[in-house]
Amino acid sequence: MRQSRITAGACSLLLAAACAYAGPATAQQAPRTASGGYVALGDSYSSGVGAGDYLESGKECKRSSRAYPVLWSEAHAPATFSFAACNGAGVKDVLADQLGHLSARTGLVTLTVGGHDSGFVTVLATCALGGADRCRSAVSRARATMDGSLAADLDRLYTAVRGRAPAARVVVLGYPHLYHLSGTCALGLPDGERAVLNDAVDHLNGVLARRAAAHGFTFADVTAAFAGHEICSASPWLHSVDVLAVTESYHPTAPGQSLGYLRVLDGVS
């Protein structure tokens, strides 16, 4: 039994209005401690949307005290810590608003960005409203964007990051699969569309990994860490669509930040 398309569509339209969603590769070495300062850049997956306990400063960015950058900083005590990541940020937002935190003294930079630029919010709404054929078409368009304009924008961003933080180790973290297939969900999208969305995430991660490697950055894949904890799993670390808190839909919970993202960042060695 599935939730009606009308209900799913309403949720996704709300999500499209309020939420930015925001390909595995072998990670290169990254430090367990930061020599110098640590700067956390990126979108809602780095700011901690969905994890709760949001900080009073910069409320519009929904930065959480439970986000993986905060947890990493608390555990490793870098010389300085700048939490610049912001809900809804795309590549151009990071370029325009976040790079001022970088300097020659920056020792570590972490970054998630690309989901918003790929049009994932539109894809999610289309998959809920339009059926399998329209869902696949939307994903195909998003993949073309990833391979085209997003890849070019990432090159510009990564070049700018290196220019402002020439000595830093830069870790680009990817995105988890959204859905656990053949899982516990009785409502919502069918597994066919869920699989298509997971494949789109893999494609995005592949683009991120290749562009990161081209600039000498580390790519950290989180899909294995989240395996068994996607939406529709018995113990999800991602929020499903919530009409009462639409901004948090499709974002990691506090365990997703600590047991997913933080564990991957800590374990890259």
Catalytic residues: 44, 251
Output the six-digit token pair for 239.
Answer: 């929020």
Question: Residue 231: which region, alpha, beta or left (left: phi > 0; alpha: psi -120 to 50)?
Answer: beta
Q: In the structure encoding, which two tokens stand for residue 124, read together?
A: 């999610």
How do beta strands 169-173 and 218-220 pair?
parallel
The per-residue DSSP string of 80-109 comes to -EEE---TT--HHHHHHHTGGG--TTEEEE
Task: Name 37's bridge partners.
Answer: 106
Compute the Cα dihedral for 13, 193, 92, 146 and give only its sign.
negative
Contacts of 253 (CB under 8 A, 6+ apart): 50, 51, 236, 237, 238, 239
